[in-house]
Chain A
Amino acid sequence: MSIQSKVFTKRGWWNWSGTWLLVVLAFLIVLPFLIKSGSLSSVIEMMIMSVAACGLNLMIGYSGMVNFGPAGLYAFGAYTTALLLVNTNMPFWFAMIAGPVMTAIAGIIIGWFCIRLTHIYFALLTLAFSQLIYTIVYKWYGFTGGDTGIVGIRVPDLLAPLNHYYYFTLVITFVSIGLMWIVVHSPFGKVVQAFRENPERTESIGVDIKRCRLKVFVLQSFFLGAAGSLYCGFNHNVFANYAHWLKGTEFILSCLLGGIYNFFGPIVGAAVYIFLEQLVISYTEYWPFILGIIIILLVMFLEGGLAGFISEKFHIIRMRYDDTQG
């Protein structure tokens, strides 16, 4: 890459991304007038999934530690909101805020143990905690309803129509993703990426790695919890399988499908994942089979994910443009 092209990308980047952001936002705002309500709920699911996947990617992509039990935290948020709404007279807004906040607090406790480990041990310990949450949710009938879950959760009249809940989700999604963008591009975000690349060196310049990892863990817990709460309000029901590790692999897969080394990767991945799922399910009941093939193709041929692939291609286009300019 020539120096010129670097300058070009740096200068052009904001215009490019800012324009696209506005286009996407405008598209999403007018979307409810264009499509059927069935498709609209798919879009809501996509947005919720992208909050979860993006949050998870703070851990997997940016800090380089594989959280193998995101489902536990997601379910923690969903159940917190659901239980508050069903058992108490708390206003809806409070329950929606309590979901992510309580999950973040749970994240402090779980993370405090997990961040001591690395690699496969970290992955297994997060899985163990996630499965512990699953066991509690699944077996504690008196409190969580066990395998019947909690059904018929009331939402305020204002949010009851699908259109209105769509806009609510849209706002929360944009705020969440905006917050994550700020975190990732802050000095703290740079430190996190530095210890992914070279933990020893980062530690030697005086960064408290464990503290950093814990912060990332709590942040991802917060956003996973937020996604759980949003889904609880969308679906009006919560079930024990939200906490199952197979649910967790959906989030991990969204990250990988989109590309974990690109901020927008998980968003693309979540959207494509839900789209493919809905599409395949309408034709055949063997969605897992197709998904298995997609995973194999992904791992074998598309290491950077879709976003990685696109940005690579765009990069080539940009370089060519530079060549003609230069």
Chain B
Amino acid sequence: MPIETLIRQTMSGLSMGMVIFMIAVGLCLIFGTVRVLNMAHGSMYMVGAFLCYWFNNVLFQHFTGSFWVVAIVAPLLVALVGLAVEMLLFRHIYSRDMIYQLILTFGVVLLIGDLCKIIWGVEYHLVSYPRFLDGAVNFLGITFPTYNIFLIITGVLVFVGLWVLMQHTRVGRIIRAITYDRDMVNALGVNVRRTYTVIFVLSCWLAGLGGVLTAPINVITLGIDAEILIECFIIVVIGGLGSMAGAFVGSIIFGLVNSFGILIAPRLAIGFSFLLMAFILIIRPWGLMGKPE
């Protein structure tokens, strides 16, 4: 394999991985603390992507800086959707059997999916690259799209930001404590339920951000929610359910397996990831960075 191809695939794998990291880490955070595998997480991503299309191509199409306004507004709107869903529905099922949690979040997937269909239709939508980032960068004689590099940087920034939040703030300490022993945290007088809401809203905000940032490199249509959800499942399983660092490592591995898998067998690329997921679950169910229960 020529060295250029190697570098090119690595870069494209990394940029893909970093975007999915923003979404997967939310799934991971919710699972780590609330112990619910939230299938509606992919829907939050889809809402973000649709909002990006809507603001960019319909509402503010003559306004040049619209992408950046969207990048701030859309994730906040998604976070609001997440808040509504958590307060109305998910709050009531935290102590129920796993299957009821799964199926309820699945019900929300169907609801949000059809609402998107009602509002935005079944067409395929494209969003153009934002200005300043639509060019290409020359690096070691190989050209990369600037946008991919922007995605990698953003992904790393999100990871660092979350890491600081977890390690050096009060909220972060509470979240980590809940991961270990929520009853004890509750007994110490922390409002665990409110923390759940905070985590939920934060995760939805990240999913919305991921949706906005991937909009220029993806086709926006119905069904991307299920697609991204499965990819997030793979990532959190590889990294370890509930481990943030695991989600980061898992995203990188997932991105690389995909971008090199495409070279080897273009059609079966996603199959390699499922194989990896199954393999990890069999030999090390708690994932690369997780801890055995």
In contact, A292 and B103 (Cβ under 8 angstroms): no
In the complex, residue of chain A having the shortest beta-carbon distance to the beta carbon of B287: A121
Q: Is the Cβ of B110 less than 8 Å from the Cβ of A60? A: no
**Which of B110, B118, B271 has a CB less than 8 Å from the CB of A136?**
B271
B144 beta carbon closer than 8 Å to chain A = no
* Contact of A292 with B281 in the complex, beta carbons under 8 Å: no
* A286 interface residue per 8 A CB criterion: yes
In chain A, what residue has the closest Cβ to B275?
Answer: A132
B233 at the interface (CB under 8 A from A): yes
Q: Are A252 and B108 in contact (CB under 8 A)?
A: no
Are B267 and A139 neighbours in the complex by a CB distance under 8 Å? yes
A246 within 8 A of B: yes
Are the CB atoms of B237 and A124 closer together than 8 Å?
A: yes
Contact yes or no, B102 A292, CB < 8 A: no
Contact of B106 among A136, A139, A295 (CB under 8 A): A295
The answer, yes or no, to whether B59 is at the interface (CB within 8 Å) is no
Chain B residues with Cβ below 8 Å from A246 are 226
Closest to A68 in B: B102
Tell me, in angstroms, the Cα distance from A135 to B117 when the chains sit together.
26
List residues of A (209-233) whose CB comes within 8 Å of B's CBs. none
> Shortest distance in angstroms between A304's beta carbon and chain B's nearest beta carbon?
11
From B37, B93, B107, B230, give the contact of A292 (CB < 8 A). Answer: B107
Is B26 in contact with chain A by the CB < 8 A criterion? no
Q: Is B99 an interface residue (CB 8 A)?
A: yes
- Tell me, yes or no, whether A117 is within 8 Å of chain B by CB: yes
Picked from B110, B111, B275, B281, the residue with its CB within 8 Å of the CB of A124 is: B281
- Contacting residues of chain B (267-288) with chain A, CB-CB under 8 angstroms: 267-268, 270-271, 274-275, 277-278, 281-282, 285
* Distance in angstroms between the alpha carbons of A291 and B114 in the assembled complex: 10
Contact string against A for B residues 120-161, beta-carbon threshold 8 Å, 1 for contact and 0 otherwise: 000000000000000000000000000000000000000000
* Contact for B108 among A135, A249, A292, CB less than 8 A: A292
User: Which of B93, B109, B275 interacts with A299 by CB under 8 Å?
Assistant: B93
Q: Which residue of B lies closest to A296 (CB)?
A: B107
**What's the Cα separation between A13 and B117 when bound, in Å?**
49
Ranked nearest first, the 5 interchain pairs of A and B with the lowest CB-CB distance are: A295-B107, A292-B111, A292-B110, A289-B114, A135-B271
Q: A245-B230, A295-B104, A296-B104 are in contact. List 19 more A-B contacts (CB 8 A).
A: A68-B102, A116-B282, A117-B281, A124-B237, A125-B282, A128-B237, A132-B275, A135-B270, A135-B271, A135-B274, A252-B102, A252-B103, A260-B99, A288-B110, A295-B106, A296-B89, A299-B93, A299-B104, A299-B107
Residue ranges of A at the interface with B (Cβ–Cβ < 8 Å): 60, 66, 68, 113, 116-117, 119-121, 123-125, 127-129, 131-132, 135-136, 139, 245-246, 249, 252-253, 256, 260, 286, 288-289, 291-296, 298-300, 303
Query: Could you jot down 16 A-B contacts, CB within 8 Å?
Result: A66-B99, A124-B233, A131-B274, A249-B106, A252-B99, A286-B114, A288-B110, A289-B118, A291-B110, A292-B109, A292-B111, A296-B108, A299-B100, A299-B103, A300-B89, A303-B100
